Structure 1
Amino acid sequence: MWRKTSKKNFIAFLTTLTLILGLIIPINYEKVYAMDEQAIETSNISNDNNLLDKKTIAKDKDYDSIKILGYEDNKELKNKVVGLLNIGKIKLSNGQDTITWEEIKKQLSVDDLDELVRGINKKIDIISFNDIHGSVQETKKNPGVAKLATEIKKYTNKNNEIYNSFIVSGGDMYQGSAMSNLKLGEPINKFAKEIGLIASAVGNHEFDWGTGNFEKWSQDGGFQFLAANLIDKKTNDIASFAKPYLVVERNGIKIGLIGLATPDTLYTTKPTNVVDYKFTSGVEEVNKYGKFLRDEEHVNAVVVITHMGAKFENGELKGESVDIAKSVEKGMVDAIVAAHDHRFTAGTVNGVKIAEGGCNGRGLGKLSFTFDPEGKLISVESSYDEVYKRKDDIKENEKVQTMVKDYEKDLEVILGEKISDLEVDLTNNKYNGVTLLGITVCDAMKKITGSDIAITNGGGLRAPINKGIVTMGDLYTVLPFDNTLVTMELKGEDIIKIIDYGIDPKKRGWGQFSGVKVWYTPENEEGKRITSVRLEDGTKIEKDRYYKVVTNDFMAIGGDNYDFSKAKNVCNTNLVMRDEIKDLWKNEGINPKEKNVLVAGVDDTKEEVVSDTDNNKNDTVINEKENKETIINNKNSEVKNHSVGSKLPNTGAPFGGVLELSGFIAVTIGSYLTKKKKVS
């Protein structure tokens, strides 16, 4: 029958059938939104089949290449923003493929912004600096606080609903420079206020001026001192000027901060300034307050802000803060801010991240936390930023720089006073041996007091002096502490023990001395290293004979654990070491003598008296080991977001049934025509 039907009649039949089906089965066109948010029907857009693609139907450009400035690695956020672009709730500037968070916020309602933020991981960075030691001005390696403020504000200026940062200090903020010392830390407090410092550990050098400044520093700087292990002996409670912990809340995330001071404080500041306090190891306090913060304050993470060191030795992290990480209960602490030993450090100990940012404002430590939308900690990474390496490219923060200039003008007369000309650099590699600066300072101490031998601590000499004009500002930089000269009489055997104690120490600078020449065996244990000691005239030190010795008041009473307890006729001259050296150098000039005062080897001196000049005319500097900067082989870590992105809106049209029917009809026609052709 079908073969007898004409081709024309069959086509007419199929056309009629298609029209009837179109009336029986209504087609519902999906409404999609153009960029102006007005609803239009898909059927009226175009008959171009390309518009049926999910991507092109909902948008007029490809958003895969879009970048959210500052959040390029946040795939989850990008997916959500692309979704908002697809439905027209967010628009890009003409021709741009980038958008900022502020531009996103401006285009969204409060409810839409809440919805956007709700399902996204939150990131919080804790930025730390430590041991800035009053380094207000820019110098050779120190960026100065104006440039450091610029770098810090790169983080805090980005704070918003999904990212936040705050600033903490590892302590030792004030003592160490002329400007800070003469103004009792005032410039540092203004810097702290400007950058929004939240909290600081209590450093050992915070006690150099006693305890009367803590409350004013805290108030003027707008931050809280934290020290859970600093106990007042009279009350058996935490020192009144410090708190054990602080809770910081950002974007619904709570981070508990616990502070720790170093027990080294007992002998790394004037012992008389801390006689009323005791310092525990801190382990018990961290466990106690860590549990409280988690159980009662319901914090999402716990961080310990310490003035305790962390450094790599033979590839292994060591130091007081490392001991804390090893000793506290597992899972009690998530991260530690280290300080005190002036290192750049980033590492992990027992799952605890540790970061330290150098010293003198030369760098920053960084602890990066990522939390899921429910507040659960996903990851922590530690890193550091060596700011000083790019300091010439950093622009000063205008407000802080104006403050620095005001203080420079105020102190110009005092700090600019010329002391003397200097023909050679006074080197100060105090962690590598006895230095030319150390010998020159000790020579001055010896001459001022008429002593046989002078001994001072390497940690008390804070910087080298470069050749050229030496000013009062230079002296304040080198000798920032108001130490006085103390004379005494000591037996030869006690002098030997004291000098031996200062050789190759592990936690401080080498002891500096003059008036004697010392031979020692490096591999021997402490107390048994020195094999011979001679006065400058070549005569051997006699163990039972008393000699006149001068040191500083810090060391005389046990600073750095030096033991002068067996001395007799002890006299604190109350002459400030820095001021007396200034007068001597101003009147007589600076005359450094390069003397080999410390020799690793055997004393083969002939038993005859030789003059100081003859004995040393060919000697060169002094047993300074090769000066090598410590390089920590830890790269800055980057937190990677592994969260699954949100699905894009389903923008495809529901034409499936109609398309299937049309396809069936087309196939039927094709089959018939082919068959008809073969039959005819």
Structure 2
Amino acid sequence: MKRSLTAVFLALLSLCLVPPLLLAGTPVELTILHMNDTHGHLLPFVEKNLSADRPVSGAAHYAALIEAERALNPDGTLLLSGGDMFQGTPISNLFRGKPMLEVMNRLDFDAMVLGNHEFDWGQETLREMIAQATFPFLSANVVDKDLSFFPDTRPYVFVTRKDITVGIIGVTTPETRVTTKPSHVENLQFLDPSQVLSSMVEGVKQQGAHLVVVLSHLGLDADMELAAKVPGIDVIVGGHSHTAVTAPVRVGRTLVVQAGYYGIYVGVLKLLVDPDSHEIVGSSQENVLRTVYAVPAAPLDEAVSKMVNTYNDKVKDEFSRKVGETLVDLVRKPYEESNFGNVICDAFLEASGAGIALQNGGGIRADILKGPITMEGVYTALPFDNLLVTMDLKGQRILDLLEKSAAMEHRILQVAGIMVVHDMQRPVGSRVKEVFVKGGMEAGVRNGGGVEEPAEAGELARGNSPPPGYLPLDPEKSYRVVTNDFLLAGGDGFDAFKEGANLVYGDTPRDAFLNFLRKHSPIKPSLENRLVFLNP
């Protein structure tokens, strides 16, 4: 009897020592780590909305966080990128994304989807980056005229963790057609993601995928629509809209996540998968973002820090140089007037001699805090190598552009030299109620202040006579307008710029702003009712 009990005890003990995966029905834990829209942010910075005294981001810090999370589940972790990783800061731009690519290679990313900004330096540079990457670039809906995928990219890959095979499909925003210079996407088509995925999801399952993850650079709203339209997607790991999704969004059986922007967060989604049915039987419900603080006590990856410093040492003297000063925070606003947009457009007027300036809000990529302005700050806020272009444009075409802007399909145009009154209860295409142009305008010194006596919004709303010094826009009159060559080419869908005449090209927007700072610092731009919204 004693020997029998001993045998039973030993048998039970042996079962306790069996790895959990060998026990029938024991869920398998997988971890999806993800980042998106880092835009070249390899160095820490202050994000005032989070903390005024604790820097965030920095490759050495998010690398340490990724490694720590991976160590918790070393055999069951995937690391994915939702795109737009490279373009946006001096340290990344000057070396055409190479520093960020080297960091991603070291961190052993499993896959990355093409974002629209991956095309900012042209197709040849993108192909060079893909060739140097140790991980696959994905996009199932970017094809050429012959419907072949973009060179050296794949529509999907398979990654196996703990005997669970994950099919990862990439999709890129069709907006890339208009959010990138046309010459940079020449001969490419951006197919409808839902149509592409309708057949591809089932296809990857037939090839052995137990789970399907869509790596998306579409934006959160589009991801949610995609989840509702296309059955069979288990997880959508997103990017493009810069949304910090703190709790996974569930649409039917699909989980949707996204990890903000600029390397401020690392997304951590944990899944429990039934090893027999391969169904997700559990997942993280909240707190799926880890904030990357770059404080002295925060973990730091020494090897990544050394990699970044190698590049930073080559540029830091030039980019730490003071180029001006601001007495107020220079703040972007995507869908309304901003003081940063105002002063940038004022700089355009001074640089060009035009009477009206129009700048796409999406071209202003970062705020600048009150105090000294460095070259790095200017470069990060205005990273694109566009050129200013001045043209003659009919008043009706200006009105068309302002109506397009008021549709809010993209960030609203920032302006100088005009005041625009919108009625947002009107249908799209008829929201611009009135436009006033500064009468007889020359490109005078504005010192970031613009109009000396801004009109009150209430006065404009009541439809009184134009503000002092302003005249109603004449649809038949030609005006001298300055913008950038991205918009000139129809970027963001502003095709009316293409009808401009007598074009004169100038400096980059960045150089125009730098010159403005040299002449007028310290600046103190304000809101001046250049963009007025009735019934918002």
Would you call these one fold, judging by a TM-score over 0.5? Answer: yes
**Contact 1:253–1:375 (8 Å) recurs in 2:** no
Counterpart position of 1:131: 37
1:146/1:398 contact within 8 Å kept: yes
What corresponds to 1:675 in structure 2?
none
State how far apart, in whole Å, the 1-side matches of 2:326 and 2:282 are. Answer: 50
User: 8 Å contact 1:415–1:473 — kept in the other structure?
Assistant: yes
Provide the residue aligned with 2:478 in structure 1: 546
Tell me the equivalent position of 1:303: 213
The alignment status of 1:265 with 2:176, answered yes or no, reads: yes
Q: Do the aligned partners of 1:174 and 1:206 also contact (CA within 8 Å) in 2?
A: yes
Q: CA deviation at 1:176?
A: 0.9
Give the conservation status (yes or no) of the 8 Å contact 2:140–2:196: yes
Deviation track 1:531-558 (CA, whole Å, cap 9, x = no partner) reads 2222232222211100000001111111
Equivalent position of 2:2 in the other structure? 29
1:400 aligns with 2:304: yes
User: CA offsets, 1:405-442, max 9 Å, x none?
Assistant: 222211112212221122222222x2241100101000
Letter in 1 for 2:489: I
Does the CA contact (< 8 Å) of 2:406 and 2:422 recur in 1? Answer: no
How many Å apart are 1:250 and its aligned residue? 1.4
SS in 1 for 2:159: strand
SS at match of 1:403: helix
Q: After the TM superposition, which residues 427-576 of structure 1 pair with which residues of structure 2 at under 5 Å, given as runs? A: 427-428=331-332, 430-503=333-406, 505=408, 507-536=409-438, 537-565=469-497, 567-571=499-503, 573=505, 575-576=507-508
Q: Deviations over 1:68-96 (max 9, x none)?
A: xxxxxxxxxxxx9x93598xx7xxxxxxx
Q: CA RMSD in A?
A: 2.7
Q: Is the 8 A contact 1:134 1:179 kept in 2?
A: yes
C-alpha distance in 1 between matches for 2:320 and 2:427: 46
Q: Is the 8 A contact 2:31 2:268 kept in 1?
A: yes
TM-score by length of 1: 0.68
Structure 1 residues 299-378: aligned runs within 5 Å: 299-310=209-220, 319-328=221-230, 330=231, 332-345=232-245, 346-374=248-276, 376-378=278-280
Secondary structure at the aligned position of 1:411 is classed as: helix
Contact 1:309 1:338 in 2 (8 A): yes
Is the contact made by 1:197 and 1:221 (CA closer than 8 Å) also made in structure 2?
no
Contact residue 263 and residue 292 of structure 2 kept, 8 A: no
- Identity within the alignment, %: 30
Q: What secondary structure does 2:165 align onto?
A: strand
Distance 1:354 1:601, change over 3 A: closer
Q: What is the rounded CA distance, in whole Å, between the counterparts of 2:514 and 2:420 in structure 1?
A: 28
Residues 81, 109 of structure 2: 8 Å contact kept? yes
Please say if residues 418 and 436 of structure 2, whose CA atoms lie closer than 8 Å, have aligned partners that are also in contact.
yes
* Residue 578 (1) aligns with residue 492 (2): no
Bigger relative CO (Cα 8 Å, ≥ 6 apart): 2
Larger Rg: 1
User: Residue 426 of structure 1 aligns to a residue in which SS?
Assistant: coil
- Give the alignment partner of residue 156 of structure 1, picking from 67, 70, 92: 70
* Aligned match for 1:247, one of 152, 155, 158: 158
Q: Distance in 1 between matches of 2:98 and 2:364?
A: 23
Counterpart of 1:289 (choices 183, 200, 216) is: 200
Q: CA deviation at 1:323?
A: 2.2
Q: Which runs of 5+ in 1 are unaligned?
A: 1-27, 34-38, 40-53, 60-79, 90-111, 311-318, 603-624, 626-680
Distance 1:324 1:440 in 2: 39
The 3-state SS of whatever aligns with 2:471 is coil
Classify 1:229/1:508 alpha carbon distance in 2 versus 1 (closer, same or farther; 3 Å): same
Tell me if structure 2 keeps the 8 A contact 1:258–1:303.
yes
1:318-371 Cα deviation digits (max 9, x unpaired): x2222221222x3x2211112111112321113211111111112233443322
TM-score by length of structure 2 reads 0.85
**Matched residues in 2 for 1:281 and 1:364: separation?**
29
Say if 1:85 and 1:304 are closer, same or farther in 2 by CA, change over 3 A. closer
Q: Shift of residue 194 of structure 1?
A: 2.2
For 1:372 and 1:388, locate their aligned partners in 2 and report how far apart those are by CA, in whole Å: 30
After TM superposition, give the deviation of residue 579 of structure 1 in Å. 2.1
The structure-2 alpha-carbon separation of the partners of 1:492 and 1:157, relative to structure 1 and needing over 3 Å to count, comes to same
Q: Alpha carbons of 1:228 and 1:320: their partners in 2 closer, same or farther (altered >3 Å)?
A: same
Conserved 8 A contact 2:337-2:529: no
Write out per-residue CA displacement over residues 450-492 of structure 1, whole angstroms, 9 at most, x where no aligned residue. Answer: 0000000111001111222211111111001111101111111
Question: Paired residue for 1:121?
Answer: 27
- Mapped contact 1:557–1:564 kept (Cα < 8 A): no
How far has the Cα of 1:588 moved from its partner?
A: 4.2
Quick check: 1:245–1:289 contact (8 Å CA) kept in 2? no
